Structure 1
Amino acid sequence: MTEIHDLTALEQYRFLQRGELGVLEVVDHYLERIDRLDGGLGAFHTVTASEARARAREVEASVPRTAPLWGLAYADKDLVRRAGVRTTFGSRVFADFVPDESDELPLQLDSAGAVSLGKTATPEFGLPSYTENLVAPPARDPYDTSLGAGGSSGGAAVAVAAGLLPFAPGSDGGGSIRIPAAVCGLVGLKPSRGLVPAGSGQDSLAGLPVAGPIARTVSDAALLLDGMIARRGDRILHHHTLRAPTFDDGLFLGAAVRGEGRFQVGVTTGSPWETAYDIHLDPEARAALDVARDTLVALGHGMEEFAVEPAPDYPDAFRVIWQAGASQIPVDDDSEQLLEPLTRWLVHRGRALPASDLVRALATLSAYERSIVRQFDRFDAVLMPTLAMTPRPIGWYDRDDGERNFAQQVEYTPFTSFVNVSGLPAITLPVHRTPDGQPMGAQLIGRPGGEATLLSLGRQLERRLHWDRVHPPQW
């Protein structure tokens, strides 16, 4: 018998619209699964069961059914404030913090008719690419709980993969949606800079972090993305937001459902980190890339291998931005002792940076952005690995040596951060399974505002490779 969590988010939405499922019924189903299963997974920092049930009743009673996410369950990433709900930012410094006001993204998802079930796990202040902190247990890969889920949207990915949520929003400042989605066998979409008003990247240092969806299917990712974009009719309600194309059944959902078109795709394994670090592609990461490439060719798309130009100034510039961003963490001498060693190292390095280093780094990354857009311009999309290695075990990263930790993160994820620097959209897709069943992803990177093309390509791959009904066997 099909259970609610076996349905895609889009299927649930259609059942809800027809009255064949109730909002409270859906919420109760997921809350029961969270209560029963999350102890071994670490997907949630906080579960707001009573608030979710009250919200479900409110949605059924007073929210118009035309809302794009009406009645669907999700959870906020624990970097996002929701009024009255404990928000830790993954740090002991804020272990008991309860904000009085909400950030923009939860308010937008409320207006879209969704129901939050709590807060998903994140590393301290979302800085590392793995979700292990001192506030809560680590987020574990549902396919193999000895492995970490990646980060920083690790809890969101675990919850979706294990059927604790139908989909979830994440944020991506250097790969933080794509990395855990690839680990957990999911679709993860990092939008173009400026597309999602509540997480546009426009107001952030170097424009790196943007908000986007994590889902089991391409259509579910498009559905959530549509709900994250504030709009009135055809008008998007943010002056910095890219104007998205309009389809009859949603800004992006139409492209994801139809999956139409033939495109010219470039393929490369070049990384801007390779001038400073020893970047190796594991055989299973190469296999994922090969599966995606060969399938796209079989589907009739043009394919051209190419090499990206070396970027010897990129590694130092990105490191400066990472450290400078940490310098803004609101800690004083008394609370600093609660920070984890890696965060403390980043804060100290960031606060010691001369202003001239920051100015130079910003200029370097701006020039790099223009270079990548120019190099990718002859393609509709560029195919690359998402990760260079198979998922890393819990505890693999050096928690005390900042330099070593940084190197480990680069060696594991050398293909993600440059997409944030360039402001381009990217989608990771679970195209491959290792012999022991571990998912491996490949990513497609689009032109500025090219989400519809990525969703169309993703849907074509999904129809051919059938990952949309694959679940971790033990969950």
Structure 2
Amino acid sequence: MDIIKLPGVELARLIKSGETSAAEVLEATLSRIKEVDQHLNAFVNLDVSGARTQARLADQMVADNAAEDLPALHGVPFTVKDLLNTAGVRSTYGSRAFAAYIPDTDAVGVSRMRQAGAILVGKTTTPEFAMKVTTDSLLCGITRNPWNTRLTSGGSSGGAGVAVATGMGTLAVSTDGGGSARIPAAVCGVLGLKPTLGAIPHETWPFHFGNNSTVSINSRTVPDLAAMLNAMSGAHPSDPLSRRLRRPVEIAKDPELKLKGKRLLMIPSMGGNTVDQEMLESVEAMLSLLASSGMNIEVASSDPIKFDSSIFSNLLTTNLAARVRSMTQQQQALLDPGLHQLLEGSGYHSDGVQLQQQAIERSRLYDRVETIFSEFDFIVTPTVTARPPPADSDGVQRVNIGGEMLPLSRWWIHLALANMTGHPAISIPCGFIGESLPTGLNVMAGWDSEQELLDLAALIAVLKPWMDRWPEFNV
């Protein structure tokens, strides 16, 4: 039994039945981190002492209780992106300005994972304030892709994607403010779910009503993803958008039957983007499999949503500028120069009318997406439009698409649509290109339709399994 390759729900079953122990699972995970992370740099810090204490308590609970009385993820290690607070464990947000910050309380999602029995192993890497789609920072250095260490892991939840892909923690709590959970999922070969806005309470950012970010999930298997979503979702007073009734998600016994006849719209040119040919062929091959399973597939020749990514860019920089303004001068001096450069544009100088115009445009975008969902059940794009760029970019943010070096935004910006409208979206592994580089299928569904996204992921897991394929990275 190779513990590090087992799904979280299976580990929980084995721990609760006494076939293995939480301590044994934890030590196997820590051993894997020691072996692998020196080459990939997925962790900011570990909580070894705290995790060992919790593992001992978990094993004592197994001795004292019936298996059915123990929580769903009892004894299973999990990781948390270093953008979310963890009580008693350093939380830096990827910034030197917060390098020594230790919160007193957990983020709601983290607290709920602990309540579900999971054991926090450590914090995974993020660029400063999650403001890049490559995971590197002055504080922590570069996080590398396990399939090819010369390439980026994606971001901003790069550490989460790498940890799941390599067995350094089977369950990863991440965030997604513009594709941040889905990009690493695609390039690392795992699942990345951005739930509906508010599905999982997200109180870390100080604005409740203008948010574009969600607490998200990276996992290798659909059952693990479902278990984490059920553990973390639900109303909480700290996030007004969470205060609605939600049903638990389930694993479909026959996802092909459930999805038969469902309508899927593929938009390859979302936001005016172009897609590299090998990436497009990988996605088209997956769509052919879905069509053969009884789904109705339609490909748009243009972008019917007319997604203008500048709306997202303006919102992102304005929100960040407001946060930076609240920092002390000493903290601001420690920020990455690239972050200051990003904010030198309109972010610092937006006026009230401009902000209201952004809100109106965001609402109109939502309306256009809802029009599509009146005819289709799913909207699909490639998760990223080309192979990942180099990890060591020396600040040059460009990507090769069809032999042309283009701004890095052309690699991912279409993903921000779901963040602007609040709809749930998932990146599902859909094959490999080139030298065994994973590809991902980005799928959006209607508000609170996570169940349908999980059904589709479960079907793809049957049609083209990815769960047992692991990277053999070159050191």
What TM-score comes out, normalization by structure 2 length? 0.89
The amino acid of 1:197's aligned partner reads P
Deviations 1:206-243 (A, max 9, x none): 331011211112222112211212489xxxx9873443
> Is 1:3 aligned with 2:5?
no
User: How is 1:431-446 mapped onto 2 (pairs within 5 angstroms)?
Assistant: 431-446=430-445
1:187, distance to aligned residue in structure 2 (A): 0.8
Moved more, 253-262 or 23-32: 253-262
Closer, same or farther in 2 for the Cα pair 1:397/1:386, shift >3 Å? farther
User: How is 1:143-154 mapped onto 2 (pairs within 5 angstroms)?
Assistant: 143-154=147-158
1:292 to 277, 281, 286: 286
Match of 1:240 in 2: 242
Distance in 2, Cα, partners of 1:205 & 1:231:
15
Match of 1:374 in 2: 371
Give structure 1 regions of 4+ aligned residues with deviation exceeding 6 angstroms.
199-202
User: How is 1:182-261 mapped onto 2 (pairs within 5 angstroms)?
Assistant: 182-198=186-202, 203-204=207-208, 206-230=210-234, 240-245=242-247, 251-255=248-252, 260-261=257-258
Match of 2:82 in 1: 78
> Is 1:45 aligned with 2:49?
no
1:185, distance to aligned residue in structure 2 (A): 0.3
Closer, same or farther in 2 for the Cα pair 1:399/1:322, shift >3 Å? farther
Q: Is the 8 A contact 1:188 1:427 kept in 2?
A: yes
Match of 2:389 in 1: 392
Match of 2:130 in 1: 126
Distance in 2, Cα, partners of 1:229 & 1:50:
28
Match of 2:401 in 1: none
Closer, same or farther in 2 for the Cα pair 1:71/1:454, shift >3 Å? same
Q: Is the 8 A contact 1:264 1:381 kept in 2?
A: yes
User: How is 1:141-180 mapped onto 2 (pairs within 5 angstroms)?
Assistant: 141-180=145-184
> Is 1:309 aligned with 2:304?
yes
Q: Is the 8 A contact 2:86 2:107 kept in 1?
A: yes
1:205, distance to aligned residue in structure 2 (A): 5.7
Match of 1:332 in 2: 328
1:135, distance to aligned residue in structure 2 (A): 0.8
Task: Tell me the secondary structure at the aligned position of residue 427 of structure 2.
Answer: strand
Match of 1:455 in 2: 454
Match of 1:414 in 2: 413
Match of 1:248 in 2: none
Match of 1:94 in 2: 98
1:138, distance to aligned residue in structure 2 (A): 1.1
Q: Is the 8 A contact 2:113 2:228 kept in 1?
A: no
Distance in 1, Cα, partners of 2:210 & 2:282:
31
The amino acid of 1:384's aligned partner reads T
Distance in 2, Cα, partners of 1:106 & 1:331:
25
Closer, same or farther in 2 for the Cα pair 1:363/1:239, shift >3 Å? closer
Distance in 2, Cα, partners of 1:348 & 1:202:
22
Q: Is the 8 A contact 1:388 1:414 kept in 2?
A: no
Q: Is the 8 A contact 1:199 1:211 kept in 2?
A: no
1:450, distance to aligned residue in structure 2 (A): 1.1
Distance in 1, Cα, partners of 2:204 & 2:290:
30
Closer, same or farther in 2 for the Cα pair 1:300/1:259, shift >3 Å? closer
**Identity over aligned residues, as a percent?**
28
> Is 1:55 aligned with 2:54?
yes
1:311, distance to aligned residue in structure 2 (A): 3.2
1:351, distance to aligned residue in structure 2 (A): 2.3
Distance in 2, Cα, partners of 1:310 & 1:452:
24
Distance in 2, Cα, partners of 1:258 & 1:19:
32
Deviations 1:113-161 (A, max 9, x none): 1100010000001111110101112111100011110111110100010
1:442, distance to aligned residue in structure 2 (A): 1.0
Moved more, 465-474 or 119-128: 465-474
Q: Is the 8 A contact 2:199 2:234 kept in 1?
A: no
Q: Is the 8 A contact 1:70 1:114 kept in 2?
A: yes
Task: Tell me the secondary structure at the aligned position of residue 206 of structure 1.
Answer: coil
Match of 1:404 in 2: none
Match of 1:31 in 2: 30
Distance in 2, Cα, partners of 1:316 & 1:238:
27
1:441, distance to aligned residue in structure 2 (A): 0.7
Task: Tell me the secondary structure at the aligned position of residue 142 of structure 2.
Answer: coil
Distance in 2, Cα, partners of 1:126 & 1:204:
18
Closer, same or farther in 2 for the Cα pair 1:283/1:199, shift >3 Å? farther
Closer, same or farther in 2 for the Cα pair 1:324/1:228, shift >3 Å? same
Q: Is the 8 A contact 1:140 1:148 kept in 2?
A: yes
User: How is 1:264-303 mapped onto 2 (pairs within 5 angstroms)?
Assistant: 264-272=263-271, 274=272, 279-303=273-297
Closer, same or farther in 2 for the Cα pair 1:26/1:257, shift >3 Å? farther
Match of 2:71 in 1: 67
Task: Tell me the secondary structure at the aligned position of residue 308 of structure 1.
Answer: coil
1:85, distance to aligned residue in structure 2 (A): 1.1
What is the root-mean-square deviation of aligned Cα atoms in Å? 2.5
Distance in 1, Cα, partners of 2:218 & 2:132:
18
Match of 1:464 in 2: 463
2:339 to 328, 333, 343: 343
Match of 2:402 in 1: none
Distance in 1, Cα, partners of 2:117 & 2:61:
10
Closer, same or farther in 2 for the Cα pair 1:297/1:241, shift >3 Å? farther
1:400, distance to aligned residue in structure 2 (A): 9.4
1:427, distance to aligned residue in structure 2 (A): 1.2
Q: Is the 8 A contact 1:342 1:399 kept in 2?
A: no
Q: Is the 8 A contact 2:305 2:368 kept in 1?
A: no
Distance in 2, Cα, partners of 1:400 & 1:436:
23
Task: Tell me the secondary structure at the aligned position of residue 286 of structure 2.
Answer: helix
Distance in 1, Cα, partners of 2:356 & 2:61:
50
Distance in 1, Cα, partners of 2:427 & 2:25:
28
Extract unaligned runs of 5+ from structure 2: 399-405
Match of 1:322 in 2: 316
Distance in 2, Cα, partners of 1:253 & 1:397:
45
The amino acid of 2:219's aligned partner reads A
